[in-house]
């Protein structure tokens, strides 16, 4: 009995997480500005916690990971193209000819 190979599906979880973080920050900034304009009070603790969780560290690390993955994929693609062109440049002798 042969096993069927599962197709490798790409996971876009990292992309979704980065988009979620930036979306939450944009929504928070808008809501925070509106609340400050209405009440005149600033929620510093909430700001620190929100930017601590969704702010700089996590999305920055995810962005660096994604950047290195993309660089690796581009490098593999270039190596594949170079190897393919080198294979195409090698002349194949015809049958019956001695070379």
**Of 66, 60, 53, which Cα lies nearest the Cα of 24?**
53
Q: What is the pLDDT of residues 53-73, one digit of tens each?
A: 887 777 777 777 878 888 888
User: Within a 13 Å sphere around the CA of 50, how many CA atoms are in the beta-carbon half?
Assistant: 16
pTM, full prediction: 0.53
Indicate the pLDDT class of residue 5, thresholds 50, 70 and 90.
Answer: low
Task: Please give the C-alpha separations between residue 39 and each of 5, 42, 70, in angstroms, as whole numbers.
Answer: 60, 8, 46
Backbone φ and ψ for 25, nearest 5 degrees, come out as -65, -40
């Amino acid at each position: 009995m042969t096993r069927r190979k599962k197709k490798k599906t790409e996971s876009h979880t990292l992309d979704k997480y980065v988009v979620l973080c930036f979306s939450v920050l944009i929504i928070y900034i808008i809501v925070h500005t509106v609340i400050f304009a209405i009440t005149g009070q600033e929620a510093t603790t909430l700001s620190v916690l929100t930017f601590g969780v969704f702010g700089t560290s996590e999305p920055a690390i995810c962005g660096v990971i994604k950047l290195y993955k993309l660089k690796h994929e581009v490098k593999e693609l270039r190596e594949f193209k170079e190897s393919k062109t080198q294979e195409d440049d090698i002349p194949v002798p015809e049958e019956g000819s001695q070379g």
